[in-house]
Amino acid sequence: MPAPIRLRELIRTIRTARTQAEEREMIQKECAAIRSSFREEDNTYRCRNVAKLLYMHMLGYPAHFGQLECLKLIASQKFTDKRIGYLGAMLLLDERQDVHLLMTNCIKNDLNHSTQYVQGLALCTLGCMGSSEMCRDLAGEVEKLLKTSNSYLRKKAALCAVHVIRKVPELMEMFLPATKNLLSEKNHGVLHTSVVLLTEMCERSPDMLSHFRKLVPQLVRILKNLIMSGYSPEHDVSGISDPFLQVRILRLLRILGKGDDDSSEAMNDILAQVATNTETSKNVGNAILYETVLTIMDIKSESGLRVLAINILGRFLLNNDKNIRYVALTSLLKTVQTDHNAVQRHRSTIVDCLKDLDVSIKRRAMELSFALVNGNNIRGMMKELLYFLDSCDPDFKADCASGIFLAAEKYAPSKRWHIDTIMRVLTTAGSYVRDDSVPNLIQLITNSVEMHAYTVQRLYKALLDDISQQPLVQVASWCIGEYGDLLVSGQCEEEEPIQVSEDEVLDVLEGLLVSNLSTPVTRGYSLTAIMKLSTRFSSLNRIKKVVSIYGSSIDVELQQRAVEYNALFKKYDHMRPALLERMPIMEKTGTNGPAEIVQTNGETESTILDTKHLPSITQPASQANDLLDLLGGNDVVPVIQTTVPTKPASAGGELLDLLGDLSLTGGPTPTPAPSVPMSQPPFLLDGLTSQPLFNDIAAVIPPMTAYNKNGLKIEFTFERSNPNPNIAVITIHATNSTEADMTEFVFQAAVPKVCSFPSSSTVYGEL
Amino acid sequence: MPHLLGFYLPRQGKLRLQKWYVPLSDKEKKKITRELVQTVLARKPKMCSFLEWRDLKIVYKRYASLYFCCAIEDQDNELITLEIIHRYVELLDKYFGSVCELDIIFNFEKAYFILDEFLLGGEAQETSKKNVLKAIEQADLLQEVRSLATA
């Protein structure tokens, strides 16, 4: 049989292939040849064949049939064979392969070979991909080599030990004695790998960490020598002596100094020295400075040093090299919480980075900017951030918008500014704001009583321009529904009032209903808004017409609303004004942590939120919209004032069920509430608590009208029972305002399992 | 730890070298490299050399027609990784004498040998350029010897 072709020959041939198919054909042919050569157990050319196989494997073709051949090569006595064999093992024989373990014996032998380069091959292979079993078997050999005086082997053994420890952490102890004088080596290779080994051990074990703390002085000394010593050609990189070793030592110092005063103090000087003396014209110097800054920030360094570190980062921000800027922003982000004031000084540079071309830099600059916003700089920062929102990539817009809302909420200098800012966000990035921003904004607007006219006017104008951004449209329709009267009366103080007629307003709202751009949710909003205007405008007929049209809408949600509103016009017209009243102010009060809640049911607990965060609804946005819709246009008079009590959460279950049970056809006699489902009461109170309206337990719970329909009005009043504050007493007043008697009035109460009733739960009587 | 996951050189998507320091199936490796190659090749010249990918950081640098990439862990120093990449390229350059892509294609096994003398388990084992090259030289000579039993 002719000799198999040489590796280079094969490579040349394959590269002449013009198509993928041609290449595949060549490869298949060669593989077949190699396979038969393997079958013949040809020792001479095994190495060449495996090498070719490895090349083909690199191109993406299967090479598993060469695995065993690699083992044979490793066992050979020719160095060439071993070299290719070990390479093949590293490429083809990772620990997931069955034959992986068969290598163990060969490696063991080679670890003890007389030629250091063979030992080196074995150490390298073991250290790159040895399995846990292999590591367990061979750890002893590695440990032995760690103590050798041959620095070529010692450095490899150290890194091999690192791998062993990663794979089998329990074996860490066994390497401890060998580490004794690792740092006294002069050889940089050994020093570097020893530091890596020590780092690994310290990171894995607090005991090791305390044990190795005593090395700090030695490490400091080594670092000092590196900096102070003159030019050393062997390790020099752009004028800096062995930057790899410097960085490694700095990192180990970081780990050793963290949380330890003495160690931190011992390294203060050298850190200051490195920070001030390192040449910064090239990347390599900056790499060292970077590591130094990270170390300074992590250990217990004195404040002067910390300021020095932050200033270095500030200088990095001005560096032409974008990599340096990137790294600076990342580090500043990590330190902004602890060293806020120092970072503030670099605010303008950070803000400039918002205009950088690189996406990663922009993102970091944005995050950092938000972290730096405070009461003093809010106006200036917001200008920059809004500009950024205008021009940034869509990926950023949602995060940026949320960040702006948060910042505005925390630091708004005035209500008008706040509303203007929100308007700006909605008009520029309206489609990207998160779903929960809509109810939050509505609440904000509701609470800014003096700004109602101004807000509704601005929103109206925005709608005239653009109805494609749903969050904007939803907020606008809601406001128009609420404050439409202010709009047409031209009452705005803050800016020039516009002349708008009722018909124009209704045109706009109706336009939303029919537009393709409006989502079903938006349509719901606009229908409700139109309905609300029936008590604020005088064009009743027009509104009635619109509402009745949608009574046969295909969209079930719209249809339901329209039918209900129709009913409101027809049968319950006397209720309409009260129901469609202005929304009361929804206040945010402080929230208590869940631990302090005495009696809760599932819902309240899950919706308790910290006022610091933008309240996020646990239910999808549509339910929250339904909430507002319910409050706006349903039977319950929104007497729910300042706070939401805990107890009525359970009452709410009954409440809602009362409502739910009373179908919209309505009946003359109210049927009593049947047993309340134990499931979460939907919508009403959940939606309410989506604003963090959580009551202070001690506060009084205001009375609430639970039901008011058809002449039957039921009110709940609440009291804490004096002896036992865990019990709330609900007094129910039922009044019959019709002329007829209501007979067979049955009241039953049921509560979720968390609460309990003291006595019988059924009341019979006549009203 | 700088636990390099892969060290490879794609050019128009063709990998010339890849070194994995964590065990993964062939399928996973293929998937990862495809993704990474796409991501890196999509980068514009003005962008910085670092990008986030999954929970790792990718450091890459372009030398002529080749991109050299490293995947490092979150706590690793990106800037020094750039130096590591540079050192490797310098070693190749010294060894091959003004290295070009063809050198790496036709002598891929040597490129691996050099890498394995410079890095072990993802970490630098030797910080002196001279020493790495000397070791390779010696090992190359050893290839000439007929049998190690008599060496």
Query: Of A554, A575, A596, at which residue does a domain stop?
Result: A575
B55/A763 Cα distance (integer angstroms): 62
Query: To the nearest whole number, what is the mean pLDDT of chain B?
Result: 86
- Interchain proximity A78–B1, CB inside 8 Å: no
Chain B residues touching residue A96 (CB < 8 angstroms) = 23, 25
Interface test with A, best of B34, B109, B119, B125 (most A CBs within 10 A): B125
Characterize the bridge pairing of strands B7-8 and B10-11.
unpaired
Across A372-376, A462-466, B87-91, which has the greatest mean pLDDT? B87-91
**Confidence at residue A490, expressed as pLDDT on a 0 to 100 scale:** 76
A643/A695 Cα distance (integer angstroms): 5
B83/B87 Cα distance (integer angstroms): 6
Characterize the bridge pairing of strands B56-63 and B123-124.
unpaired
- Quick one: what percent of chain A has pLDDT higher than 90? 39
Q: A142 vs chain B: nearest CA distance in angstroms?
A: 14
Q: Is the CB of residue A422 less than 8 Å from the CB of residue A408?
A: yes
Q: Is the CB of residue A576 less than 8 Å from the CB of residue A637?
A: no
A268-272, B2-6, B37-41 — which is least confidently predicted?
B2-6
- Indicate if the pLDDT at residue B140 is higher than 60: yes
Q: B51 vs chain A: nearest CA distance in angstroms?
A: 7
Query: Of A550, A575, A600, at which residue does a domain stop?
Result: A575
A508-517, A598-607, B34-43 — which is least confidently predicted?
A598-607
Question: Which residue of chain A is at minimal alpha-carbon distance from B14?
Answer: A59
A426/A471 Cα distance (integer angstroms): 7
Whether A458 is covered by a domain: the verdict is yes
Q: Is the CB of residue A224 less than 8 Å from the CB of residue A273?
A: yes
Question: Which residue of chain B is at minimal alpha-carbon distance from A203?
Answer: B1
**Cβ-nearest to A361 among B48, B126, B139:** B48
Query: Of A575, A591, A612, at which residue does a domain stop?
Result: A575
Quick: pLDDT tens for B18-71.
Answer: 888 888 888 888 888 888 888 888 888 878 899 888 888 899 998 888 889 899
The 3-state DSSP class for residue A240 equals strand
First to last CA, chain B: 38
CA distance readout (Å), A629 to A169, A304, A527, A561: 60, 58, 10, 9
- Interchain proximity A291–B125, CB inside 8 Å: no
Name the burial class of residue B96, with classes exposed (0-12), middle (13-18) and buried (19+) by CB atoms within 10 angstroms of its CB.
Answer: middle
Whether A55 is covered by a domain: the verdict is no
- Indicate if the pLDDT at residue A639 is higher than 50: no
Residues 144-203 of A with CB under 8 A from B: 152, 155-156, 159-160, 162-163, 188-189, 192-193, 196, 199-200, 203
Whether A446 is covered by a domain: the verdict is yes
**Confidence at residue A664, expressed as pLDDT on a 0 to 100 scale:** 37
A43-57, A134-148, A705-719 — which is least confidently predicted?
A705-719
Locate the domains of chain B by residue range.
2-150
Whether A348 is covered by a domain: the verdict is no
Whether A473 is covered by a domain: the verdict is yes
Q: Which domain holds residue A483?
A: 438-575
Whether A475 is covered by a domain: the verdict is yes
- Indicate if the pLDDT at residue B143 is higher than 70: yes
- Indicate if the pLDDT at residue A591 is higher than 60: no
Whether A84 is covered by a domain: the verdict is no
CA distance readout (Å), A259 to A254, A262, A552: 10, 9, 70
B31/A131 Cα distance (integer angstroms): 23
The 3-state DSSP class for residue B148 equals coil
Mean pLDDT along residues A537-564: 86
Return the H-helix or E-strand segment holding A706: strand A704-709
A56 Cβ neighbours under 8 A, 6+ residues apart: A14, A27, A30, A31, A63
- Indicate if the pLDDT at residue A138 is higher than 60: yes
- Indicate if the pLDDT at residue A651 is higher than 60: no
The total number of structural domains that make up chain A: 2
A626 band by pLDDT with thresholds 50, 70 and 90: very low
- Of A368, A367, A450, A382, the C-alpha closest to A413 is A382
Query: To the nearest whole number, what is the mean pLDDT of chain A?
Result: 80
Partners of A237 in beta bridges: A240
Whether A498 is covered by a domain: the verdict is yes
Fold of B2-150: Beta-Lactamase (3.30.450)
- Indicate if the pLDDT at residue B10 is higher than 70: no
What is this model's ipTM?
0.94
Rg of the Cα atoms in chain B: 16
Quick: pLDDT tens for A293-334.
Answer: 999 999 998 889 999 999 999 999 999 899 999 999 999 988
A702/A42 Cα distance (integer angstroms): 95
Q: Is the CB of residue A758 less than 8 Å from the CB of residue A604?
A: no
Across A438-447, A553-562, A713-722, which has the greatest mean pLDDT? A553-562
More confident residue, A129 or A722: A129
- Of A167, A161, A170, A225, the C-alpha closest to A193 is A161
- Interchain proximity B48–A163, CB inside 8 Å: no
Residue type, B43: R
Angle at A285 between CA A225 and CA A335, to 5 degrees: 105
Q: In this structure, what are the phi and psi dihedrals at residue A712, rounded to the nearest 5 degrees?
A: -105, 125
A720 band by pLDDT with thresholds 50, 70 and 90: low
- Interchain proximity A160–B125, CB inside 8 Å: no
